[in-house]
């Protein structure tokens, strides 16, 4: 999941072209790195845009993030989402952990 916040210049671009044009731009950029877009939503609050993306690898995710951030129009944050099956695989693994001070 990609979270994004518009800068002042990014907000001006959004006002000029609208949300559908920005959604198309997200699709175009993601497809350039071999990915697909599941959904794009605008929001109120500290983040202005949420999108669920399927990307082929971490290098593709980093390339996308760098290109978007370098534009100066947005700041972004990636959140890796896990399926229930991936959590099942995780809980099946045994990890010994000693907390601080123990």
Q: Where are the domains of the chain?
A: 2-91
Model-level pTM?
0.85
Residue pLDDT, tens place only, 26-59: 999 999 999 999 999 999 999 999 999 999 999 9
Q: Specify the pLDDT at position 16.
A: 96
Mean local confidence (pLDDT), 63-78: 96
Residue 18 CA: distances (Å) to CA of 10, 11, 13, 42, 55? 11, 10, 8, 11, 25
Q: Could you tell me what percent of the chain has a pLDDT over 90?
A: 99
Mean local confidence (pLDDT), 60-73: 96
């Amino acid at each position: 999941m990609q979270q994004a916040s518009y800068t002042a210049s990014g907000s001006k671009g959004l006002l000029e072209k609208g949300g559908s044009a920005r959604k198309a731009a997200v699709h175009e950029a993601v497809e350039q790195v071999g990915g697909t877009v599941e959904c794009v939503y605008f929001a109120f609050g500290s983040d202005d845009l949420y999108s669920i993306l399927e990307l082929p690898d971490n290098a593709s995710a980093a390339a996308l993030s760098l290109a978007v951030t370098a534009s100066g129009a947005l700041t972004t944050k990636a959140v890796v989402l896990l399926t229930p099956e991936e959590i099942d695989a995780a809980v099946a693994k045994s990890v010994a952990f000693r907390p601080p001070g123990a």
